[in-house]
Amino acid sequence: MDSYTVLHKALAAGHEVFALSFNYGQRHVRELDCAAAVCDELKLSHKIIDITAMNELMAGSSLTDNSIAVAQGHYAEESMKTTVVPNRNMILLSLAIGYAVSIDATAVYYGAHAGDHAIYPDCRPEFVEKMNAVSLIANYQPIPIVAPFLHQNKAEILAAGLALRLDYSNTWTCYVGAEKACGRCGACTERLEAFAANNSTDPLSYVPV
Tens digits of per-residue pLDDT, 46-78? 999 999 998 887 777 877 767 777 777 776 656
Give the chain's count of helices (H) and strands (E).
Answer: 6, 4
Point out the residues of the chain with pLDDT beneath 70. 65, 75-80, 116-118
Instruction: Tell me, yes or no, whether 80 lies in a domain.
Output: yes
pLDDT at position 79 is: 64
Instruction: Tell me, yes or no, whether 206 lies in a domain.
Output: no
Instruction: Tell me, yes or no, whether 209 lies in a domain.
Output: no
Instruction: Tell me, yes or no, whether 204 lies in a domain.
Output: no
Helix pair 125-135, 88-102: axis angle to 10 deg: 30
Looking at the DSSP assignment, which residues form a beta bridge with residue 145?
Answer: 108
Q: What is the count of structural domains for the chain?
A: 1
Instruction: Tell me, yes or no, whether 208 lies in a domain.
Output: no
112: domain CATH number? Answer: 3.40.50.620
pLDDT at position 69 is: 75
Return the exposure string of 31-69: e unless at least 16 CB atoms fall within 10 Å of the residue's CB, then b.
beebbeebbeeeeeebeeeeeeebeeebeebbbbeeeee
pLDDT at position 118 is: 65
For residue 127, give every residue at least 6 positions away whose Cβ sits within 8 Å of its Cβ, in sequence order, or none: 89, 90, 121
Q: What is the DSSP letter of 181?
A: B
pLDDT at position 116 is: 64
pLDDT at position 60 is: 74
Instruction: Tell me, yes or no, whether 103 lies in a domain.
Output: yes
For residue 56, give every residue at least 6 positions away whose Cβ sits within 8 Å of its Cβ, in sequence order, or none: none
Helix pair 186-197, 154-163: axis angle to 10 deg: 50
Pick left, alpha or beta for residue 9 (phi over 0 → left; psi -120 to 50 → alpha; otherwise beta): alpha
pLDDT at position 117 is: 56
Give the structural domain span for 190.
2-197
**CA–CA distances in Å: residue 185 to residues 31, 34, 70, 74, 197:** 15, 19, 7, 8, 18
pLDDT at position 58 is: 77
